[in-house]
Chain A
Amino acid sequence: MNYMPGTASLIQDIDKKHLVLLRDGRTLIGYLRSIDQFANLVLHQTVERIHVGKKYGDIPRGIFVVRGENVVLLGEIDLEKESDTPLQQVSIEEILEEQRVEQQAKHESEKLKVQALKERGLSIPRADTLDEY
């Protein structure tokens, strides 16, 4: 049953496991249960995966309803290949800690950069959110 050949449609992806990247940078993994014409998604058994370096941690989130405009991309996960990943899974606490450390380091370097620029009389406005309009 091939709905809409020649088009991109999410109908074929229903009930399959997907990885969804959101505009705020989050990565969700879950079973796509329902869609609508705006590509709003209903994800089932969703897990938010946080990646830091070579490690990742999963936070189970349950059911997600994602507004379509917030999705950057999504792709089906091959269940057979899912486990061959070079990444190492760690506990939630650990990954959150790692993330915090990474954010801190980024913040520090950013601060130094801004300082250096200020000394040279330049100021670059920071983008506070991921989206820049």
Chain B
Amino acid sequence: MAGSSDPVVLEDYLLAEDAPLLEEMAEEDEEIDLYNDMTFGLDRDSMEEEVAKAPAPQDKDPEPSPMDKSIEEGTVMEEDESKAVEEPGPEAEEKPSILEEMDEAEEEHEGEPGTQLEDYGDMEEEGELGADEHEEVEVEVEEEEDEEEEEEDEQEEGEQQHHDDGDSKEQNDLGDPAVMRAVHGKPTLESLDSAVVDSSIGSSWEGYKADDLVLADVWSSSPGSIPSHRMLEQSPMMPRSLYSPRPFTPPRRASPLFTPSQSSEYTSPMPFRPMSPNIRTPTQPLGMRFGPMSPSLDPSLFFSPSAGLQGKFSVPSHMTQLHPQHQRILNQRQQRGQVQSISPKKPWSSKADPYAGLMTLKEKDWVIKVQMMQLQSENPHLDDYYYQAYYHQLERKQAEEELFGGRSKQEPPKLVTPYIQKMETHDSVVRIAGSLGQVAMSTCYSPRRAIDAVHHVLLEEAVGNQRLRALDRIEKMFLQLLDVEETQRKMTLAPEEQHPRFQEKKSHEVGRIFHTLKTGACGSEEEAEDEFLQVLCVRKGKKLTARLLPHLTREQAEGILVAITRHLPFLMRKDVLDESLPVLYGPLSEMVGKMTFSELIEVLQELTRPLPDSLELPLTMALKNQFGISLLYSLLSHGEKLLSSDVPLEPHSGDFEKWTDTVFLVARELSQVPKTSLVEPLVLPSNLLSLFCRYLDKQTIHRLEVKMECASLPSETAMLC
């Protein structure tokens, strides 16, 4: 029987894990069963007869496909024995009022042949049904209905069934004992024209709103409409343990029928086609269940907007014993009707999607888990640098804003990638001691290694391209540098005790990099062969050096500075295209700021040493280069700062002379260099003029001032000089 088969059918589609939802379904099943009992109670007698006569058709009854078959049989029988039908007119079939409602909607919009994708639900309903099977049903159903048939129909039906002994009531009930009565309706456009997929697009269901309310009212207000005799009858045919003699109440749950996600409701693949809306007898026992009935029943029709349908749907005045699912639909429609009027623009709201939630939460979580697995890393800051850096910045900005704004902002959603301590590494090749070969132990993460290829060729032995070699070295050093910075970062995050350990590791690494950087630098005089200088010729090499400088020890950093200043003309010449020397300025100036006077003098000596192959002093050349002039200024500024401070300088012998010589030299060069070739430095120290003031006359200073374009300093110089 249809009732007993409900849980079976539905649970076929439900996943075992959806326990709470299953519970819900079970609940509903109970109600359905109860409902069926009451609906079919009248038929008990006839059914018994039927059982005696033709058990076969009944067995097939609840299943969808035999269902169709029985419908077909019914229709076939119907056609053959139409004469034998006693009922007036072709109202041998009775359909649930749900179908009737859809008939109304459909009739309304027969003239819309265009399939619009808005009403996908419609299309789906249509598509899923074998067009053949239901066309016939509809033809039967949609023939004209002449009179209202209500409860009297059931009695008639009973009688009729008695009368129609010979044809085992197939003619009336489509071969389904669950069917009380099948009625004919108007032929739908779909049935007449197979090209039309859905003729009810955009049908208005506003008319139904009122009707729903009425239905609901009728339902709630007239429980007595349920024939009492039904309730009290116990059907021996349907052993229902939960049959309770209570009035059939609408489902307790007000849950939306179609929750967008995680709805366990699985609509059977046999929804009903929209029927002709021209129903004048909508009050058939509304809940005729044709096997596993889909609660959707083309819900798109329920929720389509647009005006038009004006109460063609006459209110059932008799008992409206609704199928629980139908009741639920009505309730929701009622609720949504109000919402609908507010937002009439939503033709296909997600609430109405019966196929929503096919992908359960568990499955979604699984996919996400798989995706997250791919994000595992030991060092997310390194592997996922851009994401991490971006979110750090975002959080910092938000913190700032919070500080200023004083209001608490919510955290930006941040994906916390799984940070694992150590990634499992799989060696795809296992060497067993004493064996002759390699045993392959491959997983999907580490597939079988075909060739044990080891890169034996050293780069130095390779065909020498100096630049390539330099690039290769830069890359290697950069990786080491990133390691160093990572260690630094970890150190700042780690507790105090662990600092020395990190520090040691870091300095070791830094030493290695420095060694790599400066290898061969001291050797040859040929600048082009100097590896360090080669590295510096590349922009990335400069960046590397700049980033490395803060980590170096003082001696190491000084060595770098001396080397740079010694070869400044060379570097400047090589940098004409790139113009990336300024990247070194920051760290170098910082370093300069920590130098002693003697060291400073040493460095300045490099700049003032005349070059063998050029008339110009490096100093002069520096003035024409942004980096050069900036470096020079920073050196001078630091010297001035040292001199003007009270810190004892501990100069070596001859330092001061060299210093003054340098200053004079600079002043001379500055005044001699034409203004046009003088480049603006990155940073103009403010104490330069005071430096000059110390040694030079006013006139020169004025000239220099003009040259150097320090507009902000006049007052200072006026003060000092």
Contacts and interface: CB of A to CB of B under 8 A. Distances in A.
Contacts of B358: 15, 33-34, 42, 44
Contacts of B370: 36-37
B127 A62 contact: yes
Interface string A103-119: 00000000000000000
A80 B346 contact: yes
Interface string B322-359: 00000000000000000000000111101001011111
B355 A79 contact: no
A60 B387 contact: no
A44 to B, nearest CB: 6
Contacts of A83: 116, 118
Given A9-B371, A11-B368, A82 B120 contact: no
B355 A60 contact: no
Contacts of B118: 79, 82-83
Interface in B113-149: 114-118, 120, 123-124, 127
A17 to B, nearest CB: 7
Nearest to A5: B413
A67 to B, nearest CB: 16
Contacts of A27: none
Contacts of A44: 124, 355, 358
Given A60-B115, A60-B127, A11 B367 contact: yes
A34 B359 contact: yes
B363 interface: yes
Nearest to A91: B195
A45 B127 contact: yes
A62 B371 CA distance: 29
Nearest to B115: A58
Contacts of B286: none
B117 A47 contact: yes
B368 A29 contact: no
Contact of A82 (B117, B127, B357): B117
B414 A60 contact: no
A6 to B, nearest CB: 4
Contacts of A79: 118, 346-348
A4 to B, nearest CB: 6
B368 A6 contact: no
A46 B703 CA distance: 82
Q: Tell me the dominant secondary structure on chain B's binding face.
A: loop
Nearest to A2: B413
Contacts of A17: 117, 120
A37 B117 contact: no
Given A37-B370, A58-B117, A11 B364 contact: yes
A7 B359 CA distance: 20
B413 A89 contact: no
Interface in A35-64: 35-37, 42, 44-45, 47, 58, 60, 62
B260 A45 contact: no
Contacts of B350: 15-16
Contacts, number: 83
Interface residues of B, number: 36
A3 B367 CA distance: 11
A4 B347 contact: no
A96 interface: no
A71 interface: no
Contacts of A31: 120, 353, 355
B359 A33 contact: yes
A14 interface: yes
Contacts of B570: none
A30 B586 CA distance: 57
B178 interface: no
A45 B364 contact: no
A42 B116 CA distance: 21
A6 B120 contact: no
A82 B119 CA distance: 12
Given A6-B391, A82-B118, A83-B116, A60 B359 contact: no
B416 to A, nearest CB: 9
B268 interface: no
Contacts of B357: 15
A92 to B, nearest CB: 10
Given A34-B358, A35-B359, A45-B123, A15 B117 contact: no
Interface string B295-330: 000000000000000000000000000000000000
A3 to B, nearest CB: 5
Nearest to A49: B117
A4 B415 contact: yes
A42 B358 CA distance: 10
A37 B444 CA distance: 15
A36 B370 CA distance: 9
Nearest to A3: B368
A107 B335 CA distance: 58
B635 to A, nearest CB: 46
Contact of B371 (A34, A37, A42, A47): A37
A3 B364 contact: yes
Nearest to B371: A37
Interface string A79-93: 110110000010000
Contacts of B387: 6
Contacts of B359: 14-15, 33-35
Given A36-B370, A45-B127, A82-B118, 20 more contacts: A2-B413, A4-B372, A5-B412, A5-B413, A6-B387, A6-B415, A7-B371, A11-B364, A14-B364, A15-B350, A15-B353, A17-B117, A33-B355, A33-B358, A34-B359, A37-B370, A44-B358, A45-B123, A58-B115, A83-B116
Interface of B: 114-118, 120, 123-124, 127, 197, 260-261, 345-348, 350, 353, 355-359, 363-364, 367-368, 370-372, 387, 391, 412-415
Nearest first, the 6 A-B pairs at minimum CB distance are A5-B413, A37-B370, A34-B359, A6-B415, A45-B120, A15-B356
23 contacts: A4-B415, A5-B412, A5-B413, A5-B414, A6-B391, A6-B415, A7-B415, A9-B371, A11-B368, A15-B359, A29-B117, A31-B120, A31-B355, A33-B358, A34-B358, A35-B359, A44-B355, A45-B123, A47-B117, A60-B115, A62-B127, A79-B347, A79-B348
